[in-house]
Amino acid sequence: MTSTLADMGIYAGFDMVPRLSKGLLYIHKWESFIKMIKEIYQNDDLVEVKPNYIVFKAGEHPMLPFEGHKFLQFNSKVSGSHANGVEVYTRTIAEGAKLQFGSRIRYWDETLDQFGVYNWQEVNDSFKSYEQPDKPDKPDKPDKPESPTSIAQLVFGTDPISELDLQLFDVQPVPGTGRGLVARFNIATGKRILSEKPLFTIPGIQSMELYESTVTTKLKALSKPEQREFLFLHNNFPGKHPFSGIFKTNALPCGPGSAISGVYPTLCLINHSCLANAHFSWNSDTNCENIHAIRAIKAGEEITICYMKGHSLDSRRAYFRESFSFSCDCGLCSLPPPDIQISDARRLQIRLLHDAVDDQCRMINKPADCLADCQRILQLLKEEYQDTAGTSIAILYYDAFLINITQSDQARASVFAERAYGSRAICDGADSPESRRIKGLMEDPTNHMNFGISKKWETAKGQVPMGLDTVEFEKWLWEGR
Protein backbone atom coordinates (compact mmCIF):
# COMPACT_ATOMS: atom_id res chain seq x y z
CA MET A 1 0.00 0.00 0.00
CA THR A 2 1.32 3.44 -0.90
CA SER A 3 0.57 7.05 -0.06
CA THR A 4 -2.85 6.60 -1.64
CA LEU A 5 -3.87 5.13 1.72
CA ALA A 6 -5.33 8.43 2.83
CA ASP A 7 -7.47 8.82 -0.31
CA MET A 8 -11.23 8.97 0.04
CA GLY A 9 -12.85 5.66 0.92
CA ILE A 10 -14.16 3.57 3.79
CA TYR A 11 -11.59 1.47 5.62
CA ALA A 12 -11.64 -1.33 8.17
CA GLY A 13 -8.84 -3.15 9.92
CA PHE A 14 -7.12 -3.76 13.23
CA ASP A 15 -4.22 -2.21 15.14
CA MET A 16 -1.57 -3.62 17.48
CA VAL A 17 -1.67 -1.40 20.58
CA PRO A 18 0.90 -1.04 21.94
CA ARG A 19 3.21 -2.20 19.18
CA LEU A 20 5.51 -5.15 19.88
CA SER A 21 9.12 -4.76 20.94
CA LYS A 22 12.10 -6.77 19.65
CA GLY A 23 12.19 -8.97 22.76
CA LEU A 24 12.61 -12.73 22.44
CA LEU A 25 9.13 -13.53 23.64
CA TYR A 26 7.44 -11.05 21.32
CA ILE A 27 9.37 -12.53 18.41
CA HIS A 28 8.20 -16.05 19.12
CA LYS A 29 4.58 -15.02 19.68
CA TRP A 30 4.59 -13.28 16.29
CA GLU A 31 6.23 -16.30 14.65
CA SER A 32 3.45 -18.51 16.05
CA PHE A 33 0.83 -16.12 14.67
CA ILE A 34 2.44 -16.02 11.21
CA LYS A 35 2.71 -19.82 11.19
CA MET A 36 -1.02 -20.07 11.96
CA ILE A 37 -1.89 -17.64 9.14
CA LYS A 38 0.25 -19.61 6.68
CA GLU A 39 -1.52 -22.83 7.64
CA ILE A 40 -4.99 -21.31 7.30
CA TYR A 41 -4.30 -19.90 3.83
CA GLN A 42 -1.85 -22.46 2.46
CA ASN A 43 -4.25 -23.36 -0.37
CA ASP A 44 -5.48 -19.83 -1.08
CA ASP A 45 -4.21 -18.51 -4.42
CA LEU A 46 -4.84 -14.92 -3.32
CA VAL A 47 -2.41 -15.19 -0.42
CA GLU A 48 1.23 -14.89 -1.42
CA VAL A 49 4.24 -15.41 0.82
CA LYS A 50 6.97 -12.91 -0.04
CA PRO A 51 10.54 -13.01 1.36
CA ASN A 52 9.71 -10.60 4.20
CA TYR A 53 5.91 -10.52 4.45
CA ILE A 54 2.59 -12.09 3.45
CA VAL A 55 0.40 -10.19 0.98
CA PHE A 56 -3.34 -10.70 0.58
CA LYS A 57 -4.25 -9.95 -3.03
CA ALA A 58 -7.67 -8.50 -2.33
CA GLY A 59 -8.71 -4.91 -1.82
CA GLU A 60 -5.53 -2.83 -1.63
CA HIS A 61 -3.34 -5.86 -0.90
CA PRO A 62 -2.85 -5.58 2.89
CA MET A 63 0.26 -7.22 4.33
CA LEU A 64 1.62 -8.96 7.42
CA PRO A 65 5.38 -8.64 8.03
CA PHE A 66 7.53 -11.48 9.32
CA GLU A 67 9.01 -9.11 11.94
CA GLY A 68 6.31 -8.35 14.46
CA HIS A 69 7.82 -5.15 15.88
CA LYS A 70 7.25 -3.49 12.49
CA PHE A 71 3.52 -4.15 12.50
CA LEU A 72 1.11 -1.37 13.41
CA GLN A 73 -2.00 -1.94 11.37
CA PHE A 74 -3.70 -4.33 8.94
CA ASN A 75 -6.26 -2.47 6.86
CA SER A 76 -7.87 -2.00 3.50
CA LYS A 77 -10.61 -0.06 1.83
CA VAL A 78 -13.84 -2.04 2.21
CA SER A 79 -15.92 0.09 -0.14
CA GLY A 80 -15.84 0.09 -3.92
CA SER A 81 -15.16 -2.49 -6.60
CA HIS A 82 -11.62 -3.26 -5.40
CA ALA A 83 -12.80 -4.38 -1.95
CA ASN A 84 -14.01 -7.85 -2.93
CA GLY A 85 -12.90 -10.42 -0.37
CA VAL A 86 -10.76 -8.20 1.79
CA GLU A 87 -13.18 -7.84 4.72
CA VAL A 88 -13.35 -11.61 5.22
CA TYR A 89 -9.55 -11.74 5.36
CA THR A 90 -9.47 -8.82 7.79
CA ARG A 91 -11.98 -10.35 10.20
CA THR A 92 -10.36 -13.79 10.13
CA ILE A 93 -6.84 -12.48 10.63
CA ALA A 94 -7.99 -10.17 13.43
CA GLU A 95 -9.53 -13.13 15.27
CA GLY A 96 -6.31 -15.11 14.85
CA ALA A 97 -4.31 -12.17 16.16
CA LYS A 98 -6.59 -11.93 19.20
CA LEU A 99 -5.79 -15.55 20.06
CA GLN A 100 -2.11 -14.60 20.37
CA PHE A 101 -2.21 -10.99 21.54
CA GLY A 102 -5.58 -10.57 23.27
CA SER A 103 -6.58 -7.00 24.07
CA ARG A 104 -3.64 -5.56 22.11
CA ILE A 105 -5.68 -6.19 18.95
CA ARG A 106 -8.15 -3.37 18.32
CA TYR A 107 -10.56 -3.94 15.44
CA TRP A 108 -12.11 -0.87 13.85
CA ASP A 109 -14.56 -0.16 11.04
CA GLU A 110 -15.15 3.33 9.67
CA THR A 111 -18.71 2.39 8.70
CA LEU A 112 -19.37 2.20 12.45
CA ASP A 113 -17.49 5.46 13.17
CA GLN A 114 -14.53 3.48 14.50
CA PHE A 115 -11.03 4.53 13.46
CA GLY A 116 -7.49 3.24 13.72
CA VAL A 117 -5.16 4.42 16.49
CA TYR A 118 -2.22 5.27 14.24
CA ASN A 119 -2.10 8.08 11.69
CA TRP A 120 -1.66 7.35 8.01
CA GLN A 121 1.97 8.50 7.94
CA GLU A 122 2.92 6.12 10.76
CA VAL A 123 1.15 3.26 9.02
CA ASN A 124 2.74 4.02 5.64
CA ASP A 125 6.19 4.18 7.22
CA SER A 126 5.64 0.80 8.84
CA PHE A 127 4.55 -0.68 5.47
CA LYS A 128 7.75 0.56 3.84
CA SER A 129 9.84 -1.12 6.55
CA TYR A 130 8.42 -4.55 5.62
CA GLU A 131 10.60 -4.71 2.49
CA GLN A 132 13.91 -4.87 4.32
CA PRO A 133 14.72 -7.15 7.28
CA ASP A 134 16.47 -5.57 10.25
CA LYS A 135 20.22 -5.69 10.43
CA PRO A 136 21.40 -7.77 13.40
CA ASP A 137 22.54 -5.81 16.44
CA LYS A 138 25.33 -8.34 16.96
CA PRO A 139 26.93 -9.56 13.72
CA ASP A 140 28.45 -12.58 15.44
CA LYS A 141 24.97 -13.78 16.52
CA PRO A 142 22.67 -12.64 13.71
CA ASP A 143 19.82 -15.06 14.43
CA LYS A 144 19.64 -14.92 18.21
CA PRO A 145 17.70 -12.02 19.72
CA GLU A 146 18.63 -10.91 23.19
CA SER A 147 16.80 -12.48 26.12
CA PRO A 148 14.88 -10.24 28.51
CA THR A 149 17.06 -8.76 31.22
CA SER A 150 14.35 -8.10 33.82
CA ILE A 151 11.10 -9.64 35.00
CA ALA A 152 9.25 -6.48 33.92
CA GLN A 153 10.54 -6.96 30.39
CA LEU A 154 9.43 -10.59 30.55
CA VAL A 155 5.91 -9.93 31.79
CA PHE A 156 4.94 -7.08 29.45
CA GLY A 157 2.89 -8.83 26.80
CA THR A 158 4.91 -12.02 26.68
CA ASP A 159 4.38 -15.77 26.63
CA PRO A 160 6.59 -17.01 29.48
CA ILE A 161 5.33 -20.56 29.76
CA SER A 162 6.22 -21.29 26.14
CA GLU A 163 9.58 -19.57 25.97
CA LEU A 164 11.15 -19.81 29.41
CA ASP A 165 9.22 -22.75 30.84
CA LEU A 166 7.68 -20.61 33.57
CA GLN A 167 4.32 -21.52 35.06
CA LEU A 168 1.57 -19.03 34.37
CA PHE A 169 0.19 -19.63 37.86
CA ASP A 170 1.09 -20.19 41.49
CA VAL A 171 -0.69 -22.54 43.88
CA GLN A 172 -1.85 -20.29 46.72
CA PRO A 173 -4.27 -20.34 49.65
CA VAL A 174 -7.64 -18.95 48.54
CA PRO A 175 -10.02 -17.63 51.23
CA GLY A 176 -13.01 -19.91 51.66
CA THR A 177 -11.86 -22.63 49.26
CA GLY A 178 -8.49 -23.86 50.52
CA ARG A 179 -5.91 -23.82 47.76
CA GLY A 180 -6.29 -22.58 44.20
CA LEU A 181 -4.38 -21.47 41.12
CA VAL A 182 -3.61 -17.75 40.86
CA ALA A 183 -2.27 -16.14 37.67
CA ARG A 184 1.34 -14.94 37.88
CA PHE A 185 1.11 -13.03 34.62
CA ASN A 186 -1.58 -11.52 32.43
CA ILE A 187 -3.00 -14.44 30.45
CA ALA A 188 -4.50 -13.85 27.00
CA THR A 189 -7.79 -15.33 25.80
CA GLY A 190 -7.19 -18.78 24.30
CA LYS A 191 -3.88 -19.33 26.08
CA ARG A 192 -3.23 -22.86 27.30
CA ILE A 193 -2.61 -22.49 31.01
CA LEU A 194 -1.98 -26.12 31.90
CA SER A 195 -1.85 -29.53 30.25
CA GLU A 196 -1.70 -32.53 32.57
CA LYS A 197 -2.05 -36.30 32.39
CA PRO A 198 -4.18 -37.94 35.08
CA LEU A 199 -2.58 -39.79 37.96
CA PHE A 200 -5.11 -42.50 37.11
CA THR A 201 -8.61 -42.93 35.71
CA ILE A 202 -11.54 -45.13 36.71
CA PRO A 203 -14.98 -45.77 35.19
CA GLY A 204 -18.20 -44.78 36.90
CA ILE A 205 -18.93 -47.14 39.80
CA GLN A 206 -22.13 -47.20 41.87
CA SER A 207 -21.11 -49.26 44.92
CA MET A 208 -19.02 -47.25 47.41
CA GLU A 209 -17.22 -50.43 48.55
CA LEU A 210 -16.22 -51.25 44.97
CA TYR A 211 -15.40 -47.59 44.38
CA GLU A 212 -13.02 -47.55 47.38
CA SER A 213 -11.44 -50.84 46.37
CA THR A 214 -10.82 -49.67 42.79
CA VAL A 215 -9.29 -46.35 43.87
CA THR A 216 -7.11 -48.14 46.45
CA THR A 217 -5.79 -50.54 43.79
CA LYS A 218 -5.00 -47.65 41.45
CA LEU A 219 -3.35 -45.71 44.26
CA LYS A 220 -1.06 -48.61 45.19
CA ALA A 221 0.20 -48.75 41.59
CA LEU A 222 1.46 -45.15 41.76
CA SER A 223 4.95 -44.11 42.76
CA LYS A 224 5.46 -42.72 46.27
CA PRO A 225 5.62 -39.10 45.03
CA GLU A 226 2.44 -39.62 43.01
CA GLN A 227 0.70 -41.16 46.02
CA ARG A 228 1.62 -38.10 48.07
CA GLU A 229 0.22 -35.84 45.33
CA PHE A 230 -3.07 -37.72 45.45
CA LEU A 231 -3.29 -37.73 49.25
CA PHE A 232 -2.53 -34.00 49.28
CA LEU A 233 -5.79 -33.29 47.42
CA HIS A 234 -8.84 -32.13 49.36
CA ASN A 235 -11.49 -34.59 50.57
CA ASN A 236 -15.04 -33.29 50.94
CA PHE A 237 -16.30 -36.78 51.90
CA PRO A 238 -14.23 -37.86 54.93
CA GLY A 239 -15.18 -40.99 56.81
CA LYS A 240 -15.44 -44.65 55.93
CA HIS A 241 -14.08 -44.38 52.35
CA PRO A 242 -11.20 -41.87 52.43
CA PHE A 243 -9.53 -42.67 49.09
CA SER A 244 -12.71 -42.71 47.02
CA GLY A 245 -13.74 -39.54 48.87
CA ILE A 246 -10.65 -37.77 47.52
CA PHE A 247 -11.35 -39.09 44.04
CA LYS A 248 -15.01 -38.05 44.10
CA THR A 249 -14.11 -34.58 45.34
CA ASN A 250 -11.57 -33.94 42.60
CA ALA A 251 -12.26 -36.17 39.56
CA LEU A 252 -13.00 -34.64 36.17
CA PRO A 253 -14.61 -36.51 33.24
CA CYS A 254 -12.33 -37.56 30.40
CA GLY A 255 -14.44 -35.78 27.81
CA PRO A 256 -18.06 -34.55 27.65
CA GLY A 257 -20.43 -37.25 28.85
CA SER A 258 -17.62 -39.74 29.48
CA ALA A 259 -18.18 -42.42 32.14
CA ILE A 260 -14.43 -42.39 32.80
CA SER A 261 -12.98 -39.79 35.16
CA GLY A 262 -9.45 -38.84 36.09
CA VAL A 263 -7.70 -37.14 38.96
CA TYR A 264 -4.79 -34.71 38.52
CA PRO A 265 -2.16 -33.38 40.95
CA THR A 266 -2.35 -29.72 39.87
CA LEU A 267 -5.41 -29.33 37.70
CA CYS A 268 -7.67 -30.59 40.50
CA LEU A 269 -6.65 -27.61 42.61
CA ILE A 270 -8.54 -25.27 40.26
CA ASN A 271 -11.69 -24.04 41.96
CA HIS A 272 -15.16 -23.64 40.50
CA SER A 273 -17.02 -20.51 39.47
CA CYS A 274 -20.34 -20.38 37.63
CA LEU A 275 -18.79 -17.54 35.60
CA ALA A 276 -15.38 -19.14 35.15
CA ASN A 277 -12.47 -17.53 33.31
CA ALA A 278 -11.03 -20.85 32.06
CA HIS A 279 -12.27 -24.06 30.48
CA PHE A 280 -11.16 -27.67 30.94
CA SER A 281 -11.20 -30.13 28.03
CA TRP A 282 -9.95 -33.67 27.47
CA ASN A 283 -7.71 -34.28 24.45
CA SER A 284 -8.10 -37.92 23.44
CA ASP A 285 -5.06 -37.73 21.15
CA THR A 286 -2.66 -36.78 23.95
CA ASN A 287 -4.64 -38.25 26.88
CA CYS A 288 -4.28 -34.93 28.67
CA GLU A 289 -6.74 -32.59 30.34
CA ASN A 290 -6.09 -29.05 29.13
CA ILE A 291 -6.99 -25.72 30.68
CA HIS A 292 -7.44 -22.68 28.43
CA ALA A 293 -8.29 -19.07 29.30
CA ILE A 294 -11.69 -18.22 27.81
CA ARG A 295 -11.22 -14.54 28.60
CA ALA A 296 -8.27 -12.36 29.51
CA ILE A 297 -7.07 -13.14 33.05
CA LYS A 298 -5.14 -10.52 34.99
CA ALA A 299 -2.06 -11.24 37.07
CA GLY A 300 -3.17 -11.96 40.64
CA GLU A 301 -6.61 -13.20 39.58
CA GLU A 302 -7.72 -16.70 40.58
CA ILE A 303 -8.06 -19.16 37.68
CA THR A 304 -11.45 -20.89 37.79
CA ILE A 305 -13.38 -23.49 35.80
CA CYS A 306 -17.09 -24.29 35.70
CA TYR A 307 -18.16 -27.75 36.89
CA MET A 308 -21.76 -27.31 35.69
CA LYS A 309 -23.20 -24.85 33.17
CA GLY A 310 -26.64 -23.74 32.14
CA HIS A 311 -28.82 -24.57 35.14
CA SER A 312 -30.76 -22.59 37.74
CA LEU A 313 -29.30 -21.66 41.11
CA ASP A 314 -31.29 -24.37 42.95
CA SER A 315 -30.20 -27.04 40.45
CA ARG A 316 -26.57 -25.99 40.71
CA ARG A 317 -26.65 -26.01 44.51
CA ALA A 318 -28.18 -29.50 44.60
CA TYR A 319 -25.59 -30.81 42.13
CA PHE A 320 -22.63 -29.30 43.97
CA ARG A 321 -23.90 -30.60 47.31
CA GLU A 322 -24.40 -34.14 45.99
CA SER A 323 -21.33 -34.41 43.75
CA PHE A 324 -18.74 -32.33 45.58
CA SER A 325 -20.21 -31.53 49.01
CA PHE A 326 -19.71 -27.78 48.73
CA SER A 327 -21.83 -24.67 48.33
CA CYS A 328 -20.92 -22.17 45.63
CA ASP A 329 -20.68 -18.52 46.60
CA CYS A 330 -19.28 -17.17 43.33
CA GLY A 331 -20.29 -13.78 41.97
CA LEU A 332 -23.32 -15.21 40.18
CA CYS A 333 -24.61 -17.32 43.07
CA SER A 334 -24.19 -14.37 45.46
CA LEU A 335 -26.40 -12.00 43.47
CA PRO A 336 -29.51 -10.51 45.10
CA PRO A 337 -32.68 -12.64 44.65
CA PRO A 338 -34.18 -10.43 41.88
CA ASP A 339 -30.99 -10.77 39.82
CA ILE A 340 -30.91 -14.53 40.46
CA GLN A 341 -34.45 -14.78 39.08
CA ILE A 342 -33.39 -12.95 35.91
CA SER A 343 -30.36 -15.22 35.52
CA ASP A 344 -32.42 -18.38 36.06
CA ALA A 345 -34.98 -17.21 33.50
CA ARG A 346 -32.27 -16.54 30.92
CA ARG A 347 -30.70 -19.95 31.46
CA LEU A 348 -34.06 -21.67 31.15
CA GLN A 349 -34.79 -19.80 27.93
CA ILE A 350 -31.38 -20.78 26.52
CA ARG A 351 -32.07 -24.47 27.26
CA LEU A 352 -35.55 -24.35 25.72
CA LEU A 353 -34.26 -22.64 22.59
CA HIS A 354 -31.43 -25.18 22.29
CA ASP A 355 -33.98 -27.99 22.49
CA ALA A 356 -35.97 -26.36 19.69
CA VAL A 357 -32.87 -25.89 17.53
CA ASP A 358 -31.84 -29.53 18.03
CA ASP A 359 -35.15 -30.79 16.61
CA GLN A 360 -34.02 -32.38 13.33
CA CYS A 361 -37.44 -32.21 11.67
CA ARG A 362 -37.73 -28.53 12.51
CA MET A 363 -34.18 -27.93 11.25
CA ILE A 364 -35.17 -29.38 7.87
CA ASN A 365 -38.65 -27.91 7.55
CA LYS A 366 -38.33 -24.58 9.39
CA PRO A 367 -34.67 -23.58 9.08
CA ALA A 368 -35.34 -19.84 9.27
CA ASP A 369 -37.06 -20.28 12.65
CA CYS A 370 -34.15 -22.40 13.90
CA LEU A 371 -31.61 -19.81 12.78
CA ALA A 372 -33.61 -17.04 14.46
CA ASP A 373 -33.51 -19.12 17.65
CA CYS A 374 -29.73 -19.38 17.31
CA GLN A 375 -29.43 -15.62 17.02
CA ARG A 376 -31.58 -15.20 20.12
CA ILE A 377 -29.45 -17.74 22.00
CA LEU A 378 -26.33 -15.78 21.06
CA GLN A 379 -27.86 -12.62 22.50
CA LEU A 380 -28.87 -14.41 25.71
CA LEU A 381 -25.42 -15.98 26.12
CA LYS A 382 -23.79 -12.57 25.91
CA GLU A 383 -26.25 -11.16 28.45
CA GLU A 384 -25.84 -14.06 30.88
CA TYR A 385 -22.14 -14.89 30.58
CA GLN A 386 -20.72 -11.70 29.06
CA ASP A 387 -17.24 -12.80 27.94
CA THR A 388 -17.23 -16.20 29.72
CA ALA A 389 -19.69 -18.22 27.62
CA GLY A 390 -16.86 -20.44 26.37
CA THR A 391 -17.97 -23.60 24.59
CA SER A 392 -21.59 -22.43 24.58
CA ILE A 393 -20.64 -19.98 21.83
CA ALA A 394 -18.82 -22.70 19.87
CA ILE A 395 -21.86 -24.99 20.15
CA LEU A 396 -24.19 -22.18 19.08
CA TYR A 397 -22.18 -21.42 15.95
CA TYR A 398 -21.93 -25.13 15.14
CA ASP A 399 -25.72 -25.43 15.41
CA ALA A 400 -26.02 -22.51 12.97
CA PHE A 401 -23.60 -24.32 10.66
CA LEU A 402 -25.77 -27.46 10.80
CA ILE A 403 -28.92 -25.53 9.92
CA ASN A 404 -27.29 -23.99 6.87
CA ILE A 405 -25.45 -27.04 5.57
CA THR A 406 -28.63 -29.11 5.92
CA GLN A 407 -30.18 -26.62 3.47
CA SER A 408 -27.08 -26.83 1.18
CA ASP A 409 -26.08 -23.22 1.99
CA GLN A 410 -22.31 -23.66 1.77
CA ALA A 411 -21.58 -19.92 1.89
CA ARG A 412 -23.18 -19.24 5.26
CA ALA A 413 -22.24 -22.67 6.59
CA SER A 414 -18.56 -21.95 5.96
CA VAL A 415 -18.79 -18.64 7.85
CA PHE A 416 -20.51 -20.24 10.84
CA ALA A 417 -18.00 -23.11 10.80
CA GLU A 418 -15.18 -20.56 10.84
CA ARG A 419 -16.71 -18.89 13.89
CA ALA A 420 -17.31 -22.25 15.58
CA TYR A 421 -13.68 -23.19 14.95
CA GLY A 422 -12.38 -19.93 16.39
CA SER A 423 -14.48 -20.31 19.54
CA ARG A 424 -13.63 -24.00 19.93
CA ALA A 425 -9.90 -23.33 19.49
CA ILE A 426 -10.05 -20.76 22.30
CA CYS A 427 -11.66 -23.28 24.66
CA ASP A 428 -9.95 -26.54 23.68
CA GLY A 429 -6.89 -25.51 21.69
CA ALA A 430 -6.42 -25.69 17.92
CA ASP A 431 -4.89 -29.16 18.35
CA SER A 432 -8.00 -30.73 19.87
CA PRO A 433 -9.78 -33.38 17.78
CA GLU A 434 -13.00 -31.36 17.80
CA SER A 435 -11.24 -28.16 16.71
CA ARG A 436 -9.56 -29.97 13.84
CA ARG A 437 -12.85 -31.57 12.80
CA ILE A 438 -14.62 -28.22 12.66
CA LYS A 439 -11.70 -26.66 10.81
CA GLY A 440 -12.14 -29.35 8.14
CA LEU A 441 -15.81 -28.41 7.80
CA MET A 442 -14.85 -24.75 7.56
CA GLU A 443 -12.62 -25.60 4.62
CA ASP A 444 -15.15 -27.91 2.94
CA PRO A 445 -18.68 -27.81 4.40
CA THR A 446 -19.86 -30.52 1.99
CA ASN A 447 -17.98 -33.11 4.05
CA HIS A 448 -20.77 -33.02 6.63
CA MET A 449 -23.30 -35.84 6.33
CA ASN A 450 -26.22 -33.36 6.42
CA PHE A 451 -25.15 -31.64 3.22
CA GLY A 452 -27.80 -31.91 0.54
CA ILE A 453 -30.70 -33.09 2.72
CA SER A 454 -32.52 -30.02 1.44
CA LYS A 455 -31.60 -27.59 -1.32
CA LYS A 456 -33.87 -24.80 -0.11
CA TRP A 457 -31.01 -22.36 0.50
CA GLU A 458 -28.47 -23.79 -1.94
CA THR A 459 -25.33 -21.68 -2.44
CA ALA A 460 -21.69 -22.34 -3.31
CA LYS A 461 -18.92 -21.74 -0.76
CA GLY A 462 -17.52 -18.94 -2.89
CA GLN A 463 -20.76 -16.95 -2.74
CA VAL A 464 -19.91 -15.20 0.53
CA PRO A 465 -20.54 -11.53 -0.35
CA MET A 466 -17.63 -9.13 -0.40
CA GLY A 467 -17.56 -5.44 0.37
CA LEU A 468 -20.32 -5.42 2.98
CA ASP A 469 -19.81 -3.51 6.19
CA THR A 470 -20.15 -5.35 9.49
CA VAL A 471 -23.85 -4.56 9.95
CA GLU A 472 -24.72 -5.57 6.38
CA PHE A 473 -22.66 -8.75 6.62
CA GLU A 474 -24.37 -9.86 9.83
CA LYS A 475 -27.77 -9.17 8.27
CA TRP A 476 -26.83 -11.29 5.24
CA LEU A 477 -25.52 -14.06 7.49
CA TRP A 478 -28.55 -14.37 9.74
CA GLU A 479 -31.46 -13.06 7.70
CA GLY A 480 -30.52 -12.38 4.08
CA ARG A 481 -32.45 -14.87 1.98
- Give the total residue count for the chain: 481
d(CA 341, CA 383): 14
Strand order in the sheet with 278-283: 192-196, 288-293, 278-283
> No. of H helices and E strands in the chain?
16, 16
HEC sequence for 434-474: HHHHHHHHHHCHHHCCCCCCCCCCCECHHHCCCCCCHHHHH
| Predicted pLDDT of residue 206 | 66
- For residue 233, give the 3-state DSSP assignment: coil
Write the pLDDT tens digit of every residue in 58-97.
888 999 999 999 999 999 888 776 667 788 899 999 998 9
Mean pLDDT score of the chain: 87
| Predicted pLDDT of residue 163 | 52
d(CA 370, CA 403): 7
Lowest-confidence range among 104-113, 275-284, 289-298, 395-404?
A: 104-113
- DSSP string of 322-366? HHTS----STTTTS-HHHHHHHHHHHHHHHHHHHHHT-HHHHHH-
Q: What is the pTM of this model?
A: 0.68
| Averaged pLDDT for residues 400-415 | 97
| Predicted pLDDT of residue 136 | 52
Write the pLDDT tens digit of every residue in 301-346.
999 999 888 789 999 999 888 877 788 889 999 999 999 999 999 9
Domains and CATH numbers, the chain: 3-129 (no CATH), 162-323 (2.170.270.10), 337-478 (no CATH)
Write the pLDDT tens digit of every residue in 262-271.
999 999 999 9
Residues in CB range of 134: below 8 A, 6 or more apart: 22, 67
- DSSP string of 179-197? EEEEESS-B-TT-EEEEE-
| Predicted pLDDT of residue 324 | 79
CB 195 within 8 A of CB 286: yes
- Dihedral, CA atoms, 468, 453, 400, 292, nearest 10 degrees? -120
| Predicted pLDDT of residue 139 | 41
Torsion-angle region of 178 (φ positive above 0: left; ψ -120 to 50: alpha; else: beta) = left
| Averaged pLDDT for residues 246-268 | 92
d(CA 155, CA 299): 10
Largest CA distance in the chain: 78
Of 40, 47, 58, 39, which is closest to residue 1 (Cα–Cα)? 58
Of 159, 230, 154, which is closest to residue 198 (Cα–Cα)? 230
Of 102, 427, 38, 31, which is closest to residue 438 (Cα–Cα)? 427
The total of other beta-carbon atoms located within 10 Å of residue 374's CB is 24
